[in-house]
Amino acid sequence: MPPAHPFDDDKLREECGVFGVVGVADAASFVALGLHALQHRGQEAGGIVTHDAETGFNQARRIGLVRDNFTSPEMMARLPGPIGIGHVRYSTTGSKGQTAIRDVQPFFGEFAMGGAAIAHNGNITNALQLRRELIERGSIFQSSSDSECIIHLMARSMGRNIPDRMEEALRKVEGAFSIVAMTRTKLLGCRDPLGVRPLVLGKIGDGWALASETCALDIIGAEFVREVKPGEMVVITAEKGVESHFPFRPNRSRFCIFEHVYFSRPDSILGGRSVYETRENIGRELAKEAPVEADLVCPVPDSGTPAAIGYALESGIPYAMGIIRNQYMGRTFIEPTEQIRNMGVRLKLNVNRALIKGKRVILVDDSVVRGTTSRKIKEMILDAGAAEVHFRIASPPTAWPCFYGVDTPQREKLLAATMSEEEMREHLEVDSLKFISLDGLYRAVGEAQGRDDNAPAYCDACFSGEYPVAPSDMMEQGFQAKTAAE
């Protein structure tokens, strides 16, 4: 199966999305709706597990989109019960490209005190080490996913119940994770000690919900209660409500700043802030830092739109939809043969020629990774008769790979890892190219003084090269993390 956007390999791939409910009738339908709202976080595959008093645990894991797999009455009837969890996946570890059904979450395990299912967003940075140790002790792995390590660690725990076992297992795990899990009666949620990946708590009637983003609560009519705190585990039952545990030592939060830039939906709330408003603020900061004389501000749709609006408002230059996105360009539209691939982004984006011709155009995009798509878009704009093309990027240069649940190219394939800003401008062949500064990005997300280099408030490793959790497995394979001298 081709990737979600087979003609665009120039974006960081979203991680995964998790969702769970307890204390509702027909939990599977709520989970399917929640996963549909989180589809932007993973389009390769999805799965749902529920529990019913009569039929026990029920599960379905499928390749493809939620709408294609979890909408039929027949499918939903096979997933009865008042409690359920689900997961949408983009492969960041394990198999790439061709998703194997064995890697689709949630994973299920049968323990002495009953069954449990678990779904994980993020990446375990010591998974290879853990897998080796577990296999040496007799564990048999069924998937290539790092998430399965948690199930095996729980199986070996001597905890009195499943929440205790999950706590013990997670203390052995390094990296970034937001987890939803379930037993026959309990819904569990947990974030890593640094809170790198998001997880929110909601209330729906007499029941409760956990989700990667607030937009998934909105779709089921749930009230947003709060974010699960970094290092917190919540244990939720229909009868007792939410119990909070803190299995890890307190630590300073390092939430992923790229969630504000790109990953999260613009209608979600992060850290009490509207993602849309934050992205508009990013555009305003960018206009202050990198002004240029031009006739139009145009977003690279759709991810560049809020920042482009902010840039236009701050600069006073008119905002215009100079590029139109084909909303129906899906993965099954046409087999991506070499001839079709050569059409590049034209299958997905088209220039509004009448608007662009003769104009000096500012193109606002969220990021530049390899630079391949940026060059194609620039060519399309010039072919349409633009007088000048100026790129403004709503994030700092992406010069380092992410090891916390985001699929990024090897460092040498990142344009900013091998070129200066001026060299990138020459490579892209545009009139000007400017990225927002790291301080400017911090100001846009609410840090008025910019980035505190001694105690950064966010994980910004993809920009700074400063990894808050050592990428143990990758360093074992020879990856050179940034040193203090750099």
Please choose, from the candidates 220, 172, 228, 237, the residue with its C-alpha nearest in 3D space to the C-alpha of residue 201: 228
Structure tokens at 89: 């996946």
**From the candidates 16, 298, 459, 462, which is the catalytic residue?**
16
- Burial class for 84, CB neighbours closer than 10 Å (0-12, 13-18, 19+): buried
Dist. CA 486–CA 472, nearest whole Å: 20
Q: Residue 306, class by beta-carbon neighbours within 10 Å (0-12 exposed, 13-18 middle, 19+ buried)?
A: buried
DSSP state of 42: -
Element (H, E) at 146: none
Distances (CA, A) of 298 to 72, 83, 206, 389: 40, 45, 46, 10
How many alpha carbons fall within 13 Å on the CB side of residue 111? 26
Query: What is the largest distance, in Å, between two alpha-carbon atoms of the chain?
Result: 72
| Tokens of residue 182, six digits | 């379930």
**Which amino acid is present at 428?**
L
Q: Among this protein's residues, is 16 annotated catalytic?
A: yes
The token pair at 197 is 């990946």
Dist CA 364 CA 353 (whole Å)? 18
CA-CA distance, 460 to 417, in Å (whole number)? Answer: 15
Instruction: Decide if 422 contacts 428 (C-beta within 8 A).
Output: no
> Which residues are annotated as catalytic?
16
